[in-house]
């Protein structure tokens, strides 16, 4: 079965960072680029991969500072992550890729698709905010995250990071991530620019998601010209891992349509 394993990939030098990428499947197949969430890795998509049509090329990118990718000298912002992804798409010579992004990865994907010149075929976002104004309910929670609080609540992600990253500095990663989550400048969320998205978009949300509420989701859907919505019952923020079969079914149906 296809899986991202942090063994078969290669590095791309981008500015001062080394970005780790895995590329599975026939290079002539339709490409899907997977963008994981904050403090995560490409392995977070492994439950979904076997459910996808085998006629896809699967490309996973460890975001700057995450997994096996180094941070470089410029910190984190959604704009920086966007630029990293676009440069990898260019270097791999991908034509009209599909983007599947979770949380921070979805925000990055929305930024990319908000520029029609980037020629994205289809877009799936899971548990992703899109406008800074909707963070008023979670701003205090996100701002309170520290390296120690994260290690206490999610020890397995910390251990994986320590084992994978060639230049581990969890304190720096956490601080940079919090700054990115709370960034209200043009380097942050795509905001109203999502109205420029001209490709089909599937918006997936777990019904118990405490970070992305229905108000935010409906605000996004109202601006998308080709938007589709899947609200997955009984699961929270990580819908694609908590109920991967249901989410995988929605994604497969969307990609076939």
What is the C-alpha to C-alpha distance for residues 240 and 11, in angstroms, rounded to an integer? 26
pLDDT at 215: 96
* Confidence band for 152, pLDDT divided at 50, 70 and 90: very high
**Nearest of 110, 125, 113 to residue 206 by alpha carbon:** 125
Is the per-residue pLDDT at 214 higher than 90? yes
Considering the chain, what is the average pLDDT of its residues? 97
Give the pLDDT confidence of 22-33 residue by residue, as tens digits: 999 999 999 999
Rg of the Cα atoms in the chain: 17
Q: Decide if 202 contacts 123 (C-beta within 8 A).
A: yes
Domain ranges of the chain: 10-256
The residue-averaged pLDDT of 200-228 equals 98
Q: What is the pLDDT of residue 250?
A: 98
Number of H helices, E strands in the chain: 9, 8
Is pLDDT above 90 for 54? no
User: Confidence class of residue 187 from pLDDT cuts 50, 70 and 90?
Assistant: very high
Q: Does the model's pTM come out above 0.95?
A: yes
HSE (CB half, 13 Å, CA atoms) of 160? 19
In angstroms, how far is CA 24 from the centroid of its own chain? 18
- pLDDT value at residue 86: 98
pLDDT of 53 higher than 90: no
Question: Which fold would CATH assign to domain 10-256?
Answer: Rossmann fold (3.40.50)
CA dist 153 and 35 (Å) reads 23
What is the C-alpha to C-alpha distance for residues 2 and 253, in angstroms, rounded to an integer? Answer: 19
- 204 band by pLDDT with thresholds 50, 70 and 90: very high
Residue with tokens 């799936």: 124
Q: In angstroms, rounded to a whole number, what is the distance separating the alpha carbons of residues 155 and 32?
A: 30
């Amino acid at each position: 079965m296809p899986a991202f394993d942090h063994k078969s990939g290669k590095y791309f030098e981008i500015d001062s960072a080394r970005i780790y990428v895995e590329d599975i499947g026939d290079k002539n197949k339709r490409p899907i680029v997977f963008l994981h969430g904050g403090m995560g890795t490409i392995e977070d998509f492994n439950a979904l991969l076997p459910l996808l049509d085998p006629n896809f090329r699967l490309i996973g990118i460890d975001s700057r500072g995450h997994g096996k990718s180094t941070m470089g000298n410029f910190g984190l912002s959604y704009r920086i992550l966007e630029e990293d992804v676009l440069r990898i798409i260019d270097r791999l010579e991908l034509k009209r890729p599909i983007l599947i992004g979770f949380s921070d990865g979805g925000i990055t994907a929305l930024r990319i698709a908000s520029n029609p010149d980037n020629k994205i075929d289809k877009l799936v976002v899971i548990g992703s905010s899109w406008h800074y104004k909707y963070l008023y309910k979670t701003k205090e929670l996100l701002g309170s995250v520290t390296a120690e609080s994260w290690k206490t609540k999610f020890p397995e992600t910390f251990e994986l990071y320590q084992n994978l990253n060639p230049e581990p500095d969890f304190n720096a990663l956490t601080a940079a991530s919090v700054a990115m989550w709370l960034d209200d400048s043009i380097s942050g969320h795509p905001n109203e620019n999502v109205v420029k998205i001209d490709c089909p978009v599937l918006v997936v949300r777990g019904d118990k998601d405490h970070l992305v509420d229905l108000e935010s989701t409906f605000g996004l859907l109202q601006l998308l010209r080709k938007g589709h919505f899947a609200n997955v019952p009984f699961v929270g923020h990580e819908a694609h891992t908590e109920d991967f079969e249901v989410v995988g079914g929605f994604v497969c149906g969307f990609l076939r349509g």
